[in-house]
Chains A and B, each alone.
Chain A
């Protein structure tokens, strides 16, 4: 009797707690979205529903430029990092233990170091060699912190790959290059894809490292929001947030559906 009462109470508390936590997590997002439709400029009272901030968002050249730079840096750096990272992972996989450990430790530095140190150190490098800060330097920085994610995604797949399939391919007549293209890459492709996705996400979201390594008027969205936010509230940012949130949501749902189909296929 008492036990069942306790367990009901327990589950009530659990549910309340869970709801509270998730409310906490989603409150800012909901507020952002709601106020993006608010005619009031300062997110104070509710002045009526409007889409004007969305319109103004697309008319704002600075934001559009920042968006363009964000996407292009993310896409380019992901592509470069994926290629370099995949080859690097293969090389690392075949290294002798001592060298392997050394390279892996260095590889972990951008992940372990606070991003302000990574950002500042790269800026110091660029200025020391008198390179102009701008798109290229930001791109190099993004590639640098993206490669470790690719390597860390591909390496486990290489380890899981049965070592004899390379020999089997060669036994059947494949040259090492053919075996690489047709056997190794397909085997590790889930790792490559995951690594690329993570790299892309990290790149889109990055602020600190971009902040220190860019210049010459090249901004990404994060930097733009930072400078705007320091000046105060601006509903265009709300509109931007809503759009980004919705696209991420759609992306996650699509990815989830694909994963569901994949696992059904194997069964």
Chain B
């Protein structure tokens, strides 16, 4: 088991009595690619900034490599950050930007030369050393920001929504590059994003946050397939959430029908919520369906057709590679493993 390189305990951050991070515990394992995922305002960036040292926790502690760094200023932490807006020094050329941290550490000139060159190779910008920052595109600037942080060989790299300003194609390319970089360099990455697809693609582990609290911690597959609550289910991927009743272990009632499922431990006759992923719904001729419904809309999405099927009061979101037509009656089937049961959360809103 690799050790915990960062540990946050009972972290709270408030601004003028308004809490933004409401008491969270988390840890990051060495060499792990951890993502803090959540909507705007959920506290993920604040948490990252507390790890970096730009914000002081209102209460709670942060440990780095076993030592308490809560009061340590950012310039003394062995952690480096890649900023959302790159924060490159426009009055210096690329070489000087990357060399900035090394110069502060009084690294010998020859070594600086070597390491900067190596970094430029790593981010695929060989030969750019003497260029000015202004001549770079957004994607290139982002890579320089990464190089500038990584050249200092920190134990942990923090990334604050670094790909937000890039166009879709470039973003997807960079996601792969970053993941490869992390594996190659072998350091811990703590990544912040609101894009759940990005999180699922890159992470070893995801911490889902909302409203200052941690909603779920797990691997991408865990979170996607077994969301703990309605928020996570709704935030990750698209899902159908239906009210239902857990009859007993392995049996659940919803959509007016009794289904076999694979979850247990929810008690008997307990009101619960059912999560069904759109791509798990199988469209079959009406006679073969467990439930039937009327197709209300069909949108071609390239990879699949997105359909809304009305079944009584319920609207089912279905992703299918086969085309159905509006007004058609269809049957729907689900495998027991594809029915996910969640505890019913009382509405706190």
Which residue numbers of A lie inside 8 Å of B, CB to CB?
Answer: 162, 164-165, 167-175, 178, 183, 186-187, 189, 266
* Residues in A neighbouring B80, C-beta threshold 8 A: 171-172
Given contacts A165-B89, A172-B100, A173-B76, 7 further A-B contacts (CB under 8 A): A164-B85, A171-B52, A171-B54, A173-B152, A174-B75, A175-B75, A266-B132
* Residues in B neighbouring A175, C-beta threshold 8 A: 75
Q: How far is the CA of A171 from the CA of B81 in the complex (A)?
A: 7
Name B63-92 residues within 8 Å CB distance of A: 73-76, 79-81, 83-85, 87-92
Least Cβ–Cβ distance between B111 and chain A, in angstroms: 16
Q: Say yes or no: A171-B75 contact (C-beta < 8 A), given A165-B87, A183-B89.
A: yes
B74: which of A165, A171, A183 is its contact (CB, 8 Å)?
Answer: A171
Q: Contact: A170 with B87, CB < 8 Å?
A: no
Least Cβ–Cβ distance between B268 and chain A, in angstroms: 55
Q: Contact: B83 with A167, CB < 8 Å?
A: yes
Interface centre among B73, B79, B81, B132 (most CB of A within 10 A): B81
B58 at the A interface (CB under 8 A): no
Contact with A along B128-144 (1 / 0, CB 8 A): 00001010000000000
B87: which of A167, A173, A174, A189 is its contact (CB, 8 Å)?
Answer: A167
Q: How far is the CA of A172 from the CA of B146 in the complex (A)?
A: 12
Q: How far is the CA of A112 from the CA of B148 in the complex (A)?
A: 47
Q: Contact: A169 with B100, CB < 8 Å?
A: yes
* Residues in B neighbouring A266, C-beta threshold 8 A: 132, 134
* Residues in B neighbouring A170, C-beta threshold 8 A: 53-54, 73-75
Closest A residue to B99 by beta carbon equals: A172
Q: Contact: A187 with B83, CB < 8 Å?
A: no
B104: which of A168, A173, A187 is its contact (CB, 8 Å)?
Answer: A173
Least Cβ–Cβ distance between B311 and chain A, in angstroms: 50
B18 at the A interface (CB under 8 A): no
Q: Contact: A187 with B75, CB < 8 Å?
A: no
* Residues in A neighbouring B84, C-beta threshold 8 A: 164
Q: Say yes or no: A187-B90 contact (C-beta < 8 A), given A168-B81, A172-B80.
A: yes
* Residues in B neighbouring A169, C-beta threshold 8 A: 89, 100
Closest A residue to B98 by beta carbon equals: A172
* Residues in B neighbouring A174, C-beta threshold 8 A: 75, 100, 104
The 8 closest A-B pairs by CB, nearest first: A172-B101, A168-B87, A164-B87, A186-B91, A173-B104, A170-B75, A171-B81, A170-B74
Q: How far is the CA of A169 from the CA of B87 in the complex (A)?
A: 9
Name B236-282 residues within 8 Å CB distance of A: none
Q: How far is the CA of A147 from the CA of B208 in the complex (A)?
A: 52
* Residues in A neighbouring B348, C-beta threshold 8 A: none
Q: Contact: B85 with A162, CB < 8 Å?
A: yes
B2 at the A interface (CB under 8 A): no
Q: How far is the CA of A162 from the CA of B74 in the complex (A)?
A: 18
Least Cβ–Cβ distance between A173 and chain B, in angstroms: 4
Provide 7 A-B residue pairs closer than 8 Å at the C-beta atoms, listed in order of the A residue.
Answer: A165-B88, A165-B89, A168-B88, A171-B79, A172-B149, A174-B100, A186-B91
Q: Contact: B152 with A172, CB < 8 Å?
A: yes
